[in-house]
Structure 1
Amino acid sequence: MKTVTKYCKWLKILLAGIFFLVPAFPVSAAPGEYQQCTNTADCIVGEFLFNDEYVPVADADCTLTARYPDGTVFINSATLPPSADGWYSYDIGTSGQPLGLYRSQICCTTIDGYMCLDKSFTITQDTAESVWSYDNRTISSFGNIVQEIWTYSDRSLSGFGTLVSDIWGHTSKTLSSPTLDNGATLATTDTVNSVGTSLSDISLQLTSVQNDLVTIDSKVDSLQTSVTTIQTNTDNILAKWSTYSVTDILNYIDSLESELGNNTQTCTDDSVFGQVQCLIDKWGTNSASTIYNAANGAYTTATALRSELNFNGKSTTAYDEIITLKAYVDSIENSIGSTSDTSNTASIFGRIQQVKEAIEAIDNSTLDLNDLLEKWGSLSATDIYDKVKDLSTDIAAINSVSNVENITNNNITQNTDLSELMNQVLAMKALLSTNRTLLETVVSKPIITSWLEEGSIIFKSLITNPSKTSTQTVPYLYYFPSEVKQENIIKKSPELEIKFDATKSVYYASADITLKPGGTIILEVQVEDIWTIPQEKIDSLKKQADELFAPLKNTSYFAQGTTLHSNILASLDKITILQKQAKLPEDKIIGYYETKIELDSVNRNLESLKTIVSSAGSIGTLSGFIGGVQAISVWGIIIVLVAGFAFLAIYIRSLTPPKPTPPSLITPPVYSTSQAPPSQPQDNGIPPPTKPRASPKIHRGITIAAIVGLSFGLSSSVTYQIFQSRPQKSAILPSVLSATTDATPTPSQKTEPSPTKPPQEPTNTPQITPTQTPTPTLSILKKVIIAPTNGNKINLRSQPDSNSVLITTIPSGIEIPIYSEKYNDLGEKWLQTSYDSTQGWILSLLVQEIQSPAPSSSSAPLSKINIRVPSYDTVYLYSKPSFNSSVTHKLTQDQTAEILVETKRWVKVILTRINVEGWISQDFIERNLP
């Protein structure tokens, strides 16, 4: 019975040890319901933002993006204002919005990184409680709702009273249904609102056109005012010729000549000749030739009239010259016309109206082309053919660019391939853009318009010389996407050369194109379609994932394999969807970068799947079972069991008394004759005294406590070491040991010699002391600059993970080296770098790449550039590569500078004339200076 009790105690101890060692696995909480919003009140969507210490973050850059239930954009990156308690919110107007689920997310950029949170919400109709919000109304009784609705006592639910006459007595009436009794339809409010929206869009486009023509309109108005003044002065002279003195007439002539100006003036002068020069700059000499000739005639006549009055006074010749001057002024006035002139009127206002109508026609054709591209996949081949043929005819009628007959030709048939029709539509869009540029702006330099076509991928550029009198040479330069290599180029125009830009690590096409007056040329480069992942490859990856997943069924790896297998299939399906959604060539290239991220994720998951499949190969053995998902738990249980049984055996053995030695086997000691035996106590029949022993209960308790403590301590230590020895997601870079190590340990000054051996003389063997461990030497892949953020610094972490240990922070604007690049499990790109003798990882989104190494302060700048300042704008130099940083200098005219540092979007320059440094956008840089 006592033995059974002992074993029961030990069994309880073992079970308790197993209970404490088995880890508790986390259980994910089910997602809550979406936020409910009604269409009768605004809805506030927001979230609190805290850092790792639960301190509110009030300086983050947070935005909200939401989509309608049909997937179209509802709110596009709306900025969320911060508050002191870390609350970021957005007030959404729900009135009139469609009912359903609005997929939404809040994304915030902080000094610690970038994060997004699902904030989807639903818009529903108001509930019954909101309808019956009064005490005297219930679900079964209306209370006084009828009186409150109809207001008058003679109206009820069964009788309208004077309601009909009251409704039709008002001037504003709407219908809820467009169908009449006779089957005809009327316009409803929705129809009118839809038309109003379309008209608003057209109005915005026309406003853009008006803004583009506002300069020429104002010049024509000023010209008309000047001519009216001259006309008034001339009429006054003729009307009062007999009463005016010569001095009075000369004063009128002075005023007339001041308004007229002279033929050396430019568009900036406020005179008749100045305004005429604006018209010449805008539309050439043909459109303003009549006005210019009349102005020249008026100027010559006014000069002759002044001479005649000075020499002969009010003579008949002077009067005839006044009549001639008036005729010239009338001619100018007729050539200007009035604002009521149509596009067929031969006047300046008629020309303006003609340009406006041409731009409107271009915009309408552009809208038609965009609509055709949007519906391309849903239209039949016959419908596409008819629309392309009609649009080609319309565009050919309004086109003013020469040598583009191959774009506007309508020699297409119903057998024409859809890819060819698509390419013609894309080319017509580019042609319309060129025509609009010619009409809207004062153009003197050649115009370059680029677009993409199908047929692999074809990069095309249309270059036209707007000048009607001079030949111009165009330095053409076109950079290809970074994926394009020399071997990917199928064919090119003979005028082009393909070169490699080492600073940007991309290929580009270049040529010097000479165009005659009004000349046009189309250049093209055909490249392999390297931006599409073949469906055969996608199917092969799916098959590989299925084959790897099959052996994991009925194993301990099944759950882990299911997750990886599902992620692989989801990523491959997303790749297929993204490629199908890319209708246009540029959409295909843009979507490729997203599909590449998904493909990299597939490859990583496949490698992980291969690893666990190889581990599952020995699943029938003990080591294979232990190597499963719950390896730590299994090892802990085994160690507890083994240690418990071992110590149980030791304890049981300690309780068993040793066997007594037989007396016959005891050999009495032998003493020499010179030695006397030690005195022995006399045996008087009394047993010798025994050594006192502890109580059995105390002994048992101490032993049990010691065994339990040793068991748990040993098992916990071994389990911890197993856990620590498991490979982590990202290994920390190992330290490089010094090549010099200790050959012989240096003894301590306090070491004493061994008592069994005499001290020895020290030898002359030199002692090699350890050297300081140097920082690992890594090759520099590239250099980057820390981009400005809200906190003007970014985090340097121990691993390529936002949750890894924060080592230090790096201020913005600092140049740092990059040793390697890595994508983590979330698809984020991280860069390995070092700062202040400390290595770590930074997020690639927070840096800007330097195109070429930055020179030291004592070295010469990279190259000279010209900062081009537009006539309508001002260019600023900034202290950092960001428009949000402080301005170091303002430029109002072109200026030469020298490059210090260059990134893809920014250049740090020095204005040597005034010794000022700063960052400037690449948009204002002009290169190739001598």
Structure 2
Amino acid sequence: MTTAKKAITISAFLAASALALAGNVNLARASAGSPQTCTVGSECGIGEFLYDDEYTPITTPDICSITSRYPDGTSYLDNQNMPPAAESDGWYSYEFTAPATTGYYRTQVCCTVSSELLCVDKDFEVTDAATSSDPDAIASAVWGYSSRTLSSFGSLAGDIWSYSTRSLSTFGTLISNMWSNSSRTLTDPSLTSGSIATKTDLTNATGSGITSLTTEINNVKDTADDTRLLLEKLVNKPIIEYSLEDDVPDLNSKITETKAVANQLYVNNQYIVSKIGTLIKNYEKTAESQVLDQVIELNELAGEESDVENTNTLYGSINWINDSWNWDEGEKINAETSNLKEGLVSIQTSLGSGKGDKSAKKDLQNLFTNSVSLEKLIGTATDIQSDGTLYGKIKKTESIALALDGRQSEVEKLLTNWDSVRGDKDLMTKISDLKRKVLAVNQVPKGSVVLDSKTADANSPEKSQKNSLLSMRGLLVANKLLLAKGASSYIASSWLEEGSVIIKSLVINPSKLISQEAILKYYLPPEIREEDVLSHDDLLSVKYDVEKNQYYVDGKIPLRVNETRVLAIRLEDIFVIGKDEVDSFRSQAIDLSRPLEKTSYFAQGVTLKSDIDASLDKILSLQKKAITPEQRIRAYREALIEKNAVETKLAKLQDLVTLAASTGTLFGFIGSVNALTVWGLIIIMITGFVLMVVFMKKASSGKSKSRKGKGEKQGPTGISTSERSVNVGRWIKFGISFGVFGIVVALASGFIVAGVVSNSVRREMETSQNKDNVEEKKQGDAITPAPVAEDKTKTNAVGGQEIVRINVPLGSKLNLREGPSKEDKILAKLIDSLDAVKISEDGDWVNVAIAAHLLPASGKTSGDAGLVGEGTVAGWVSGDYVEEAVTSPNAAEDDVKEEPTVSVVLILNTSTGWLRVREKPSGGEITKVLPGEKYRLLGEDNGWYEIELQDGTSGWVSSEYTSIVSE
């Protein structure tokens, strides 16, 4: 059907005014229909208009030519050039003197544009010149009687009436003959009695009737007015709910879309016009079933009154335009479309019942009249603003939108360059000129109210000048809203001004009939709290929306007929991060980075400090570039993200400083059991001292014994044999004592170090367990509870003296419930094994108290539910997973061995001190991880490992700087 529609539409254009050229050219006729007639010897001209697809005239010379043949077929004009007109209106013509040979001349005009050729028939006929007419001869020929002329009728009247007393001015006895009874009058319906009504009778009758009719009309009018006012209250009552984040309509894109819909409407109607015209022309030759099929097709093309989304129908297109613009032209087109639709339905019904053969053609003619009327209301793409057509309205709206954009760009230019123009001595003159331009294009009723409203806190000329520009921009935005919604719709617009932060709200009563109250509800920026609202109009009050977690102002605003009001709300300017705060962050970063010098954490510290400095510089840059209050709020929100990043990186920097400080000391290297280490060293030193004293005492007693043996035989060296044997024994004892001393010291040191290292390994394994999903051994769904207030002071759980160990199997999840059954509410989800305080038991369930900071972030309770102490949550867990707390390293090690192993990725040392985490192998960076950290292994791909991050998301790291370990 689409191909047929295009073909018929083109033929309709040919019949009306134009020919369509495939590609991008249209060739238009000056006239269409019968061939042109030229008289012998007269000057005759043949021509065509030539346009492109945008209806722009084509004026290229030497592209059109004319060829014509005599009636006998011989050549008359052979490819003669048709030059363009001097007016450059696309008219190509050829002038010639009509030849003496009369008859029909077959003629063709051809034009070549962009290598495309189109030829059109331009046949003409040459006839002899007409001779002068003789009135008497005409009269004789007409009347067939020499005495009858156009000025004298002779005996015609007598012949017509066949009675000498009847004439065109005297009726004779005609009246009595017609009525056959003198008593028949115009006042008696039976025509048997009565008399002709006099003027007085008619006056009296009509007077009383008019009075009665006038009364009835007035009653109807009063009822209609009451109904209209009621509809005004129901339909046009301004109920306004909006916020600063509401979007400004993009008029340019909306107008472009409107043009496309209007073009579709135009093409569909042209198709209907041409189709109905063809049906009327060929009605006698077309079978009734074929007529019915084509009427059904046209009925479907007209669509239904409820069509909104489908713009391929007449109703769909016009409904879209009415919903988008609310134009009067759209309402007229909608009414004419309804008439067309009713006619199509009527014809379809009569033809379908087999009773419409006689009246269908007449109905089609009426339908053709409706479609032509619709065509006039739609207009064409060449219509101008003053035309009362749809295309004319689009042109007018587009012109206004361009003017508004132009004025707004001038305002934006001054605001953007405010730092350079605010000291200009001509600035006030420029603002005054711009104000006049804005009011010149303003469509908002009483728009000057907006520009004349002053801000109380704008106590400096500079702020007043900037606020003038901001109010002009607000008025221009309101004009765009008015243009988009239509004059009969309510308008609500807001903008910000200087003076702390001033929110101006413009409210318009759309009704031109009644005064009414506008219900205003304006949502404040989410950062604003009630104490930040410094002042507002008396008609407004500050309230809180629990669902949106946001404050708003609302009130009932009385508005007179078509009145415009401007309301003001003054807020504390909290949308700034001070330079002192930025300098404080920068100073902290410097102080924290110094202890990292000449340590293995220096590279990580430099990276974190560089990131902190970059974020702080970005905060200052964002706030410096913000000129208007809206820009300042947006800059503050972006800067707040950077500030949070700075605080996070400062915390990491503090952790690095703590690590660097602990690895530089003996106690830090050994671990956190400093008391055990100190007492162990003290015992070792005391033991060594005691052994040394004993050894020295033994040595001195040996010397005294050797002095008493004087009679013994001495050797060549002067030392007796007994003395020599004593010395050897003494050295042997010394060696044995020294060895025993070393073994004792080594065993004691090894025992202490082994204990410390074992405890450190156990704690590391506990804190690095995988954060998998958790579920109870018995059936029970894990429901994520709302978060609970977290206690940042890491204290042990309280509520009992017996410490128990809650074992959560790896790859599982364990529910902490409100009571000792699976039907009780779930308070939290336990992901890792942890220690807790046992409170009581109930069958297979154990009541425990757990430190709140040990619970996962997504698994804490809401409010104070289950709290038994500060930062502590009490609940019930299955006894199958509860055992006495592990106290020895060996026991902890045994527990770990019993649980299934899980592969984790250990981050190794890198030259930069960190490792990038990417969104996919070789993809973009999403975060960084530090050496020594462990993450659950999710998968691997060609030298890349997918890991689970602490926030539950996943990322990819290079396997070159990682190691797989089992836990």
Same fold, judged at TM 0.5 (above): no
Output the TM-score relative to the length of structure 2.
0.39
Tell me: higher relative CO, structure 1 or 2? Use CA pairs within 8 A at least 6 residues apart: 1
Name the structure where helix makes up a greater proportion of residues: 2
Output the TM-score relative to the length of structure 1.
0.41
